[in-house]
Chain A
Amino acid sequence: MFSTLHRKLLHDLWQMKSQAVAISLVMGCGVATFVMSVSTAVSMYQSQSHYYEEFRFADVFLNLKRAPSTLVPQLAAVSGVARMHARVVAQVDIDVPGMIEPAQGSLISIPDYYERGLNELHLRLGRYPEPASPPEVLVHESFASAHHLRPGDSFHAVINGKKQRLTVSGVALSPEYIYPIRTGELLPDDRRYCIIWMRRSELEASFDMKGAFNNATFSLLPGANASAVLKAIDTLTAKYGGLGAFTREDQVSHRFLSDELSQLRALATIPPGIFLVVAAFLLNIVISRLVRTQREQIAALKAFGYTNRKVALHYLSFAAVITVAGIIAGSAAGVWMGLGMTRIYVKFFRFPYFEYHLHPAVVTGAALFACAAALVGVITAVRDAARLPPAEAMRPEPPASYHPTFIERFGVETWFPQTARMIFRQIERQPVKALFSVLGVALAVAVMMLGSFSKDLLNFILEFQFQRSQRQDAIIAFNEPSDSGVLNSLASTTGIRKVEGFRSVSTRLRYEYRTHLVCLMGLQDDHSLFQLLNIKGGAVELPREGMIISQSLAKILRVQTGDILDVDVLEQDRPRHKIRISGTIDDFSGTSAYMTVQALNRAMKEGRVLSGAFVTIDGAMAAQTYKELKNMPRVAGVNIKRAAIETFNRTMSENLLRLRIFNIGFACIIAFGVVYNAARIALSERSRDLATLRVLGFNRREISRILLGEIGALILAGLPVGMFIGYGFVAVAIEALQTRTQRFPLIVEPHTFAVAVVVVLTAAVISSLVVRRRLDHLDLMQVLKSRE
């Protein structure tokens, strides 16, 4: 039934509509960020697990040099293995018409005729390859859509040194390549990296792998001991050049997906927490003030016989209406943002079906959190309303007690005009409220910084990685270790200016019982195109003996400079060595280890052999250079820095911009909510004083200064606190980004601080001015007659 109290509720809410809307918005932001991150995470997790299950994503992965097919039954028989699938995988260069630089492909064998196995393909277009000439292949959807390839189209690939035409029979997806990224890169490059599936017999023939395999995937029985399985597989494959079996956790696509999921989970806690705390505070000040100004109404209600419970419920209803509005608006915004997030994910993560699902439990959870925050916010005010004895409530509230402020005790009050003292004493009289207002403004600044720091971080990484550390224009990989003579032919290629060879060897580093698979890099003595740099600046000298390892690796192995590592080389004769750690490098490229080429060659008991080269290229001749490189038989792949930077910029800038816009919105809502409410409360508490001053001859500007001075002082105090808190949030966020293999530095550019401050200050000033306009309508005559 719609009672008179309900009518009063609606009327009062209408009177304080702007404040109510401001609080609803802040609350809505909390609900929205929660709904967005949790619903997206749940959708992604569900898509992932359905996909993995339905298309039998493998549990264990293995690369090896070459093993005979006779090894297959032995591997399949390893205790704990449910199913095993042997494949041939090769890296190829792809020549796409219209693209001057070569693209890279991973060529993966599939059974000659379709059979159920592991990592099954989901055919999006076309059909399974059939025996044909030129050979038919399936290509990954990411590459197909980047180049508009359709069934029946064809392209060229350099397969084992021979340029071969391939016909696309279909476009496919695989659970193994949900995030189709080349190892060692930060973002997928759909234009330059492709997964190609080819019938086993054709691939075997091209690579001379008949009766052999170089890659295997395994599924495990439920409850199998993964590390025992890995160990057994490694033992069986050691003499066939096994590079060490690894689980899903180290599978590139899976790892990126898991990292994204854990970041979404982190997103579900911090931002909603910030918004709900601010909303609770705002509800507290607004409803407390409402109860204070309605003392006499409360008294009258109680005098008429309304129970304390009814009165309490009435004031609780204010919070309830505001909260429910926030929940509804926030849930809608959360779903909208979740859909937007999903659209971004669909671009990066290739699922056969990735649909956004909103689980009712997510909204229920968000609603519960919002209600809990609201209850915490209003509980004291509602209790005060319930406890107010009617007789006492009839009397006006006793005049507020004030004292000289702390700083005035030092005799500095003579420096300030009376109006400044009013401001100081007002703030000092309600320190908790002032503190929360400061905190609210600070959180707005912090949210702003949280939305912008990733740009600083990426700029830093780009600059560090691509300008200071890697000074080459391209990295050329040889299809097999080659003697240093190849450098001469590279150097004589058109457009190539400078050449520096490197050797890279797959190794397993061991210390005590801890092991890690690492690609050990050998750099030239006089290396200049690839610099070893600490994040905090300063080049690291490569010692003549021993190796330099990254700090992340040192942390994983729990070793320090001077320790001696067991190094099991996983290539060729698989020699084992003991190598001393001569230093560590604080980079963020993950786990890496470096030696000089000479020392590495010695360790490998080989001559001066190289795996590839860093080169600089004359930009004007780049097209010709790439053309010649494509045709060099030794060259297995060319990784072009400029292309990597472009991909990075193209894909990230759009997402970063979106993130920043969201965060600017969030920060403005917090700043507006906090400042507008603080100003309205200040106006309500001080309107009588201000009107009195007007009657005494103060003009509007002078009384505005008093009202806005207090708000201004709180805002100014909040800005530096916000920069401090924001820096802390960024540190927490960066810590959450750290994975076992990737390290990120804590970078916040002065620019980020400045933009955060300017945005919040602008929002704060605008909301203060909105309240300032109300000063023009102060009823001067009323103050002559009314008591507070």
Chain B
Amino acid sequence: MMSFTTARLDAGAELKTSIAADVPVLQAQALTKVYHMGEVDVWALRGVDFDLFEGEFIVLLGPSGSGKSTLLNILGGLDVPTTGKVHCRDHDLSVADDDALTSYRREHVGFVFQFYNLVPSLTARENVALVTEISENPMSPDEALDIVGLGERKNHFPSQLSGGEQQRVAIARAISKRPDILLCDEPTGALDVTTGVLVLEVIARINRELRTTTVVITHNAAIASMADRVISMSGGLITSVQRPPVRMSPRDIHW
């Protein structure tokens, strides 16, 4: 594992802040989302405007119930807003049906889950291949695994991998399709600090080297310092947008 960090990541170098391009990859306007829970309406989003630019690294911060998961679900094409508009490339996500959302996820989005969600009956390589088989212009599973530094362990099953390794396989799986947007939902939530840092380094490097637009949602404020933009949410609204002057390297972050 250490060989990977030294060989592939220029750990000592200060990371340059990525410069966001002007064209948004994704545009969301006046998003609201209401869940009907019995006789009560729960407003998860109360009017959110949100643009996502190419190559940008965004951290979405907020406590439980702030609406960040709902926003991620809408950005990821898992859900549609109650009102408002979302566009990504040629997709209008606000009016998409199930098939349209599926093809949007398939073509444009890479997901990284808190609990990895690897298929236990498939090896690391096969978990990645699962996605490359249905993508149009994927990298090879081996290449994706090399990027996350798991080329050596590609024939291992999830039960034979540590949590950090499993999460890196999940990242390889997410990036193998060369997605426009990489959505990471609490990617370090189930990991200890050391392993978490390692995972964040991989995500940061992918954002930097592959220029994949990346959104990390977390309630861990420390992670915010590696972002181009930090969006804080509370009560279904965006409460602040900050641009850290310097993007920090994950290994310099402490929490």
Is A692's CB under 8 angstroms from B117's CB?
yes
Q: Is A10 an interface residue (CB 8 A)?
A: no
Q: Is B83 an interface residue (CB 8 A)?
A: no
Is A422's CB under 8 angstroms from B122's CB?
yes
Residues of chain B at interface, number, CB under 8 A: 40
Binds B, one of A266-274, A399-407, A537-545, A672-680: A399-407
Q: Given A402-B159, A695-B111, A696-B105, does the pair A418, B129 have CB atoms closer than 8 Å? A: yes
Is B115's CB under 8 angstroms from A399's CB?
no
B118-134: CB near A (< 8 Å → 1, else 0) gives 01111100110111011
Closest B residue to A427 by CB, please name it.
B121
B78 in complex: contacting residue of A419, A693, A695, A788, CB < 8 Å = A695
Q: Is B102 an interface residue (CB 8 A)?
A: yes
For B102, the chain A residues whose CB sits under 8 A away are 694, 697-700
A393-434: CB near B (< 8 Å → 1, else 0) gives 000001111111000000000000111011001100100000
Task: State how many angstroms separate the Cβ of A776 from the closest Cβ of chain B.
Answer: 9
Is A402's CB under 8 angstroms from B126's CB?
no
Q: Given A402-B121, A418-B133, does the pair A696, B173 have CB atoms closer than 8 Å? A: yes
11 further interface pairs, Cβ-Cβ under 8 Å (given A697-B131, A697-B134): A399-B120, A401-B160, A404-B123, A418-B133, A692-B119, A696-B130, A697-B106, A780-B78, A784-B114, A784-B185, A787-B190
Task: State how many angstroms separate the Cβ of B96 from the closest Cβ of chain A.
Answer: 13
Task: State how many angstroms separate the Cβ of B9 from the closest Cβ of chain A.
Answer: 26
Q: Is A781 an interface residue (CB 8 A)?
A: yes
Q: Is A786 an interface residue (CB 8 A)?
A: yes
Task: State how many angstroms separate the Cβ of B149 from the closest Cβ of chain A.
Answer: 21
User: Could you give 28 example pairs across A and B, Cβ below 8 Å?
Assistant: A398-B159, A399-B159, A401-B160, A403-B157, A418-B119, A418-B122, A418-B126, A418-B133, A421-B122, A426-B121, A429-B121, A689-B117, A692-B117, A695-B76, A695-B78, A695-B111, A695-B113, A695-B117, A697-B107, A697-B109, A698-B106, A699-B99, A699-B106, A700-B102, A702-B134, A783-B113, A784-B69, A784-B78
B52-73: CB near A (< 8 Å → 1, else 0) gives 0000000000000000010011
For B127, the chain A residues whose CB sits under 8 A away are 418
Q: Given A688-B117, A697-B134, A702-B134, does the pair A421, B126 have CB atoms closer than 8 Å? A: yes
For A398, the chain B residues whose CB sits under 8 A away are 159
Closest B residue to A698 by CB, please name it.
B134
> In the docked arrangement, what's the CA distance between A429 and B119, Å?
14
Task: State how many angstroms separate the Cβ of B163 from the closest Cβ of chain A.
Answer: 11
For B117, the chain A residues whose CB sits under 8 A away are 688-689, 692, 695, 783-784
For B113, the chain A residues whose CB sits under 8 A away are 692, 695, 783-784
Task: State how many angstroms separate the Cβ of B72 from the closest Cβ of chain A.
Answer: 8
Closest B residue to A696 by CB, please name it.
B131
Q: Given A695-B76, A697-B109, does the pair A402, B120 have CB atoms closer than 8 Å? A: yes
Closest B residue to A787 by CB, please name it.
B115
B75-108: CB near A (< 8 Å → 1, else 0) gives 0101100000000000000000011001101110
How many chain A residues sit at the interface, stated as a range, is 35 or more
Task: State how many angstroms separate the Cβ of A539 from the closest Cβ of chain B.
Answer: 62
For B72, the chain A residues whose CB sits under 8 A away are 784
For B160, the chain A residues whose CB sits under 8 A away are 401
Q: Is B158 an interface residue (CB 8 A)?
A: yes
Is A400's CB under 8 angstroms from B120's CB?
yes
For A421, the chain B residues whose CB sits under 8 A away are 121-122, 126
Per DSSP, are chain A's interface residues mostly helix, strand or loop, or mixed?
A: helix
Is B105's CB under 8 angstroms from A695's CB?
yes
> In the docked arrangement, what's the CA distance between A459 and B244, Å?
89
B130 in complex: contacting residue of A419, A695, A784, CB < 8 Å = A419
Q: Is A650 an interface residue (CB 8 A)?
A: no
Q: Which of A665-694 contact B (CB under 8 A)?
A: 688-689, 692-694
Task: State how many angstroms separate the Cβ of A424 from the closest Cβ of chain B.
Answer: 9
Closest A residue to B127 by CB, please name it.
A418
Q: Which of A398, A419, A692, A783 has the most CB of B within 10 A?
A: A692
Closest B residue to A418 by CB, please name it.
B130
Q: Is A785 an interface residue (CB 8 A)?
A: yes
Task: State how many angstroms separate the Cβ of A74 from the closest Cβ of chain B.
Answer: 88
Of all A-B residue pairs in the complex, the 3 with the closest CB atoms, nearest first, are A697-B106, A692-B117, A425-B121
> In the docked arrangement, what's the CA distance between A520 and B127, Å?
79
> In the docked arrangement, what's the CA distance between A788 and B118, Å?
11
B133 in complex: contacting residue of A401, A417, A787, CB < 8 Å = A417
> In the docked arrangement, what's the CA distance between A277 and B16, Å?
68
> In the docked arrangement, what's the CA distance between A398 and B157, Å?
13
Closest B residue to A403 by CB, please name it.
B157
Q: Given A695-B105, A697-B106, A697-B131, does the pair A400, B111 have CB atoms closer than 8 Å? A: no
Task: State how many angstroms separate the Cβ of B88 from the closest Cβ of chain A.
Answer: 14
> In the docked arrangement, what's the CA distance between A402 and B126, Å?
13
Task: State how many angstroms separate the Cβ of A397 from the closest Cβ of chain B.
Answer: 11
For A788, the chain B residues whose CB sits under 8 A away are 115
Task: State how many angstroms separate the Cβ of A545 from the closest Cβ of chain B.
Answer: 75
> In the docked arrangement, what's the CA distance between A697 and B105, Å?
5
For B114, the chain A residues whose CB sits under 8 A away are 784-785
Task: State how many angstroms separate the Cβ of A174 from the closest Cβ of chain B.
Answer: 72
> In the docked arrangement, what's the CA distance between A403 and B177, Å?
26
For B79, the chain A residues whose CB sits under 8 A away are 781
Task: State how many angstroms separate the Cβ of B77 from the closest Cβ of chain A.
Answer: 9
For A695, the chain B residues whose CB sits under 8 A away are 76, 78, 105, 111, 113, 117
Closest B residue to A419 by CB, please name it.
B130
> In the docked arrangement, what's the CA distance between A422 and B119, Å?
8
Closest A residue to B78 by CB, please name it.
A780
Q: Given A422-B119, A697-B131, does the pair A399, B103 have CB atoms closer than 8 Å? A: no
